Structure 1
Amino acid sequence: MQRGETAGLREALATATCRAMRDAVIYLPADVKQAIERAAASETNAVAVGEYENITKNIVAAEHLGVPLCQDTGVPVVYLTMPPGVPFSRVLFDAIADGIRRATNEVPLRPNVVNPLTRHNSGDNTGVGMPAIHVRPGERFAVTVMPKGAGAENVSRVVMLLPSQVGKIEEVVVGTMLIAEGRPCPPVVLGVGIGGTFDSAPALAKEALLQPIDRMDAFEQKLCDAVNRLGIGPMGLGGNTTALAVKIKTAACHTASLPVAVNVQCWANRHATVEVDW
């Protein structure tokens, strides 16, 4: 690419990333809002009904005021969709970091990203390995941002099962939520990654959270029903719905292994996609 083309690509991607981050922290996807509405309508626990009223007021206020849904604006997890013809280079990663810095200043976002050992805060939500960027092929050039809060992330886990323990997947998923209780601000969405390797199963689980939650297959529904039987309810105060949905992504794995990861997400299952105009 010529220097001018490189500069144009960087600016276009930075602008799209900033916009995606803004949209993600302020506006919940329609399918998530609808799932919350359905859960609220079917709730019979009086305390839980009150919590849904608070959640709904929160969603409306964020949209009306143009401010983040939650004070924890998360760490930025980014999925970059690359169609044929878009040149792949370091410029793309630099542009995404530019967009995150811009969003941190303009939205604004709480600076959450720190060095894992010194705990030094970068002040702009970037740093070594951050934002986490996943590149995938696709038909259109787009950036998807998922701000991931610590409350839900801290109770996520990965378990290495044996091939003979397929029947224990439900136990892993339900057990994860049983340990988490109210800490991840339920009702949650659970992303489940099955297969791959020790490191890729959690990546599958996180990406599963991007799937629409207004439909589940039979296995996902079975897991969701099992989690809801725990009765943890909204904010851990009891209720009919602990999980709005369970979403699964799978990958082939070693014949001697069965990795299972559960990535917990709070009721604010935030993510937004913006096409890059380049």
Structure 2
Amino acid sequence: MRNVDVSLIRDKIAQLCIEANHYLDGDLKTCLSKKLEEETWPVAKDVLTSIEKNIAIAEEGVFPLCQDTGMACVFLEIGQDVHLTGGSLREAVDEGVRRGYGDGFLRKSIVADPLRRVNTGDNTPAYINTEIVDGDRIKIIVAPKGFGSENMSRIKMLPPSAGEEGVKDFVVETCEMAGANPCPPIVVGVGIGGTFDKAALMAKKALLIPVGRENSDEYYGRMEQELLKRINGLGIGPQGFGGRTTALSVKIISAPTHIAGLPVAVNINCHVSRHMEAVL
């Protein structure tokens, strides 16, 4: 059994909140550069160039990648041989977000109630997802989620007879309906199977997969590439100005489901697909 004081989690989350709002993973930057080389529409090339400049400015550590610094989505993989000490995990996570968004001068975007709309003033509470895994380590992923893209996400309980084509049509339809709203080029997370809530969680977790990583399942790897081709064929383009680059990546996570169902969820992220991780 390994004891871990929750203050360590608090401090790491504060750090990751700031870093995730200023730095993009190298795989995403590489993908953007490749798409810029491939793009033929002058307006689209100009937009992609501006995006790369924005990323470089944000890396100087003063200005965040986007004015919407997002809802703090915190994913915790906690080893079953870990004993948390020093207080409440929930309180530690929220305090980490509170400090990160305060010290980083990041916009506070959370309202305490969805209808009465009073801002909490510190970007808490965070969205927290915990998973118990083997081992004695804690993996932390902080993924600030802007709602220009979150609002474009959808879920549908398809009949099993819809099959692969029904799933693909729903994903493409969702991206077409989103249009320019999620600030394309987008990253598309897809969850297939499980239950209503499981599909949505898988779609969100799919956004955490590096864009350059191939799916270990060849079947879904082929589906990801076909979907990427179809979405880019919509011609929406960077920021909706047309072109070949509507999406940077499509990632799929699947899970077993009931014989009577085929849940599918689509969680969209803008080109600022932010997430940082650490292991304690």
For this structure pair, what is the TM-score category when the shorter chain's length is used for normalisation? over 0.9
Within 2, Cα distance between the matches of 1:83 and 1:59?
Answer: 34
Mapped pair 1:160 → 2:157? yes
Q: 1:65 to 1:23 in 2, by over 3 A?
A: closer
1:44 alignment counterpart = 40
2:173 alignment counterpart = 175
Please report how far the alpha carbon of residue 88 of structure 1 lies from its aligned counterpart in structure 2 after TM superposition: 5.1
Mapped pair 1:58 → 2:54? yes
Within 2, Cα distance between the matches of 1:148 and 1:158?
Answer: 18
Query: Where does the alignment leave 5 or more consecutive residues of structure 1 unmatched?
Result: none
Within 2, Cα distance between the matches of 1:65 and 1:20?
Answer: 13
Question: Which amino acid is 2:267 matched to?
Answer: N
1:243 alignment counterpart = 247
Within 2, Cα distance between the matches of 1:138 and 1:55?
Answer: 40
Question: Which amino acid is 1:177 matched to?
Answer: C
2:266 alignment counterpart = 262
Question: Which amino acid is 1:27 matched to?
Answer: Y
Mapped pair 1:24 → 2:28? no
Please report how far the alpha carbon of residue 10 of structure 1 lies from its aligned counterpart in structure 2 after TM superposition: 2.2
Q: TM-score, normalised by structure 1?
A: 0.93
Q: Which of 231, 234, 237 is residue 238 of structure 2 equivalent to?
A: 234
1:190 alignment counterpart = 188
Write the mapping of 1:120-139 to structure 2, written as runs, cut at 5 A: 120-126=118-124, 130-136=125-131, 137=133, 139=135
Mapped pair 1:142 → 2:175? no
Q: TM-score, normalised by structure 2?
A: 0.92
Please report how far the alpha carbon of residue 275 of structure 1 lies from its aligned counterpart in structure 2 after TM superposition: 2.4
Contact 1:16 1:275 in 2 (8 A): no
Question: Larger deviation: 150-159 or 90-99?
Answer: 90-99
Please report how far the alpha carbon of residue 67 of structure 1 lies from its aligned counterpart in structure 2 after TM superposition: 2.6
Question: Which amino acid is 2:5 matched to?
Answer: L
Write the mapping of 1:55-94 to structure 2, written as runs, cut at 5 A: 55-87=51-83, 91-94=88-91
- 1:70 aligned counterpart, secondary structure: coil
Would you tell me which structure has more strand in proportion to its own residues? 2
Contact 2:5 2:84 in 1 (8 A): no
